[in-house]
Amino acid sequence: MGDYRMTQFEKVSQRSVQHSKPAGLVLQYGTAGFRTNAKQLDHIMFRMGLLAALRSKKTKSTIGVMVTASHNPEEDNGVKLIDPMGEMVTPAWEEYATLLANAEQEGLLAALKDVIETEAINMSQDVSVFIGKDTRPSSEGLSQAVLDGVSSLGGHGHDYGLVTTPQLHFMVRCQNTQGCYGTATVDGYYQKLSKAYIQLTKHAPNRTDDQKHLLVDGANGIGALKLREMEPFLQKELQVSLFNDGSSGKLNFQCGADYVKVQQRPPQGVQMSAGERCCSFDGDADRIVYYYNDSAGQFHLLDGDKIATLISTFLKELLNQAGLDLQVAVVQTAYANGSSTNYLEETMKVTVRCVKTGVKHLHHAAQEFDIGVYFEANGHGTVLFSKAAEEAIQQLALDPNANDEKKSAARLLENTVNLINQTVGDALSDMLLIEAVLAIKGLTIQQWDAIYTDLPSRQLKVKVADRRVIDTTDAERRAVSPAGLQEAIDALVKKYKMSRAFVRPSGTEDVVRVYAEADTQENADALAHEVSVAVYRIAGGVGEEPKPFH
Ligand code: NG1
Ligand code: ZN
């Protein structure tokens, strides 16, 4: 009794041959999805299309698939899945992603059926998947492979083409909230954000054109294109000089947020005068850092920690004015500068929580508070408002009995909520929020920078044979294996003042990351180097032993 129509599984089987897996290749769904050289990713994309289709059936919602490798070099690419409310896919499904990705060609159907069975997925349920990509040359073909995966399970994929990562997250949430969060189009995104931004800047009426001026390094990526698109919506309330817009330079090469943060120097290709406010996006525009050169030519970086401080201070002040009793907390990782943590806890009296590296951990922790501000030091971050907090703000803004000061604060808070992309860190949204806060508070970038002074720090990488030999605890601040490593780090840290150091295996690169801070830059550099040597010797370093930093 053969069925003459092709079954779904036969179709998957047939199409998968066109996206065949190199035998023996093993890849992990890491802190930011799959990420490696683009040449190794075609089968991964097809399979993530399949998995997104299953996730859509399971959740009866739209799921997102973003093709990007963020701040990695142009020859890399990657993919991550977006859950219905616009957040990172839930951990159990990261495991399925790894399973599907590593099934050899002949085992793919069995792996797929395993997921279907374990999750009891109703295969007659409809499928809706939103797909976006960054500007890498490889993204075009790879996003086609995702679409192929979706359609071979009979699903409908909506291809948004070139979008920033946070725009796709935003649109997934809009779609699954039936428009409550906004309209699921790129224009809908510009409209929502620009409206809120223009409302906020009305509270800073006398700004000069100079004060509205911002230098932006687009990392030669998608953020540059999308900023150009958004500019007309901002009605000259922000006046941008855009550099590294992708017209000639290479993606993330000597520019972009990661370069500026890790190298602690300005990007190539930006003409900065003393005191001018500048910012850099990363390659998919979900990170932002600010910086300026002072009149002595000294470079000053304002990273995710400074951003979190500015935003949480602003929110706390507004809540006070509004008389709203809502708790503001800041979520950081071990990479947060010690001075920022100190300032937030001691001076600002806000709750600070430290979690493991990776956006999903920060996002999750931030959800536990009325208002959770989360930022990685590298500039990825946003603010989450609980439903109760949003309702309290809205109610007060409409309350006929509230006094003018309270009402005005509530309206400012309302527009702040609308300006923030609550799904994920968003360079465009964060930039507008920072610009609005500086305008309303009448702060220059130097005054913002002076809120607290960073401890000098240094980040390094060490190559080891297998980075999984390093296991950590206490939000990655201590290594539990290999034996002797933590003791070695403790002994080195003791040699310096105001010092701290930790190591952890990277989730996106085949390296061990080393972080150190101390009272002077020389000491931070020396400590980072000494810890690198300890990692090299105790954790199976490969290649040459790390050389001193200078
Ligand atoms: P890994 O490679 O796991 O350190 C890096 C960043 C993370 C996060 C991810 C995703 C640092 C030290 N690490 O992760 O914070 O942003 O990339 O892009 O910045
Ligand atoms: Zn990114």
User: What pLDDT digit, counting tens, does each position of 343-360 carry?
Assistant: 999 999 999 999 999 999
Q: How far is the CA of 376 from the centre of ligand 2 (A)?
A: 12
Mean pLDDT of 284-312: 98
pLDDT digits (tens, 9 = 90+) for 235-256: 999 999 999 999 999 999 999 9
Pair 256, 288: CB distance under 8 Å:
no
- The pLDDT score that the predictor gives to residue 4 is 53
Question: Is the pLDDT assigned to residue 546 strictly greater than 70?
Answer: yes
Q: pTM of this prediction?
A: 0.96
pLDDT of residue 5: 59
Q: Which atom of ligand 1 is nearest to the CA of 459?
A: 12
Residues 524-532, mean pLDDT to the nearest whole number: 98
For atom 19 of ligand 1, the residue with the nearest CA is 378
Q: Angle formed by the axes of helices 108-118 and 8-17, to 10°?
A: 140
Distance CA 401, CA 398 (A): 9
Band of the pLDDT at 2, cuts 50, 70, 90?
A: very low
Contacts of 4 (CB under 8 A, 6+ apart): none
Q: What is the mean pLDDT of the chain?
A: 96
252: annotated binding-site residue?
no
What separation in Å is there between the alpha carbon of 402 and the centre of ligand 2?
42
Q: Which CATH class is domain 304-408+419-426?
A: alpha beta
CATH of domain 188-302: 3.40.120
What lies within 8 Å, CB to CB, of 264 at 6+ separation is 299, 301
378 is in an annotated binding site: yes
- pLDDT tens, residue by residue, 99-131: 999 999 999 999 999 999 999 999 999 999 999
Active-site residue identified among 70, 339, 429, 499 = 70
Percent of the chain with pLDDT over 70: 99
Nearest ligand 1 atom, CA 507: 3
> What's the CA gap between 251 and 218, in Å, rounded?
9
Q: Whose CA is nearest to atom 4 of ligand 1?
A: 506
Which numbered ligand comes closest to the C-alpha of 262?
1
Determine the pLDDT at residue 31.
85
Kindly state the average pLDDT of the residues 453-480: 97
471 marked as binding residue = no
Give the per-residue pLDDT at 509: 86
Fold of 457-538: TATA-Binding Protein (3.30.310)
Domain at 2-162: CATH code: 3.40.120.10
Residue range 413-448, pLDDT digits in tens: 999 999 999 999 999 999 999 999 999 999 999 999
Pick the residue whose CA is nearest to atom 10 on ligand 1: 32
Indicate left, alpha or beta for 487 from its phi (over 0: left) and psi (-120 to 50: alpha). alpha
Q: Which atom of ligand 1 is nearest to the CA of 508?
A: 2
In the reported structure, the alpha carbon of residue 508 is separated from the centroid of ligand 1 by a whole-number distance in angstroms of: 7
Domain positions in the chain are: 2-162, 188-302, 304-408+419-426, 457-538
Please state, in angstroms and rounded to a whole number, the distance separating the CA atoms of residues 102 and 66: 20
Residue with CA nearest ligand 1 atom 13? 357
Q: Known binder of ligand: residue 284?
A: yes
| CA proximity to 259, closest of 268, 250, 248 | 268
Q: What percent of the chain has pLDDT over 90?
A: 96
Q: What are 162's two structure tokens? A: 């070139």
Q: How many Å apart are CA 232 and CA 236, to the nearest integer?
A: 8
Q: Is 490 assigned a ligand-binding role in the annotation?
A: no
Look up 138 and say whether it is catalytic.
no
Stretch 15-26: mean pLDDT, rounded? 96
Which residues are paired to 176 by β-bridges? Answer: none
Ligand 1 pocket, CB under 6 A: 31-32, 70, 335, 357, 376, 378, 380, 506-509, 513
Indicate the DSSP class of residue 270. -
pLDDT at 180: 96
**How many angstroms is it from 11 CA to the middle of ligand 1?**
37
Fold matches, 304-408+419-426 and 457-538:
no
User: Which ligand lies nearest to the CA atom of residue 166 in the structure?
Assistant: 2
pLDDT score for 1: 40
Span 450-474, average pLDDT:
97
Say how many Å lie between the CA of residue 515 and the centre of ligand 1. 13
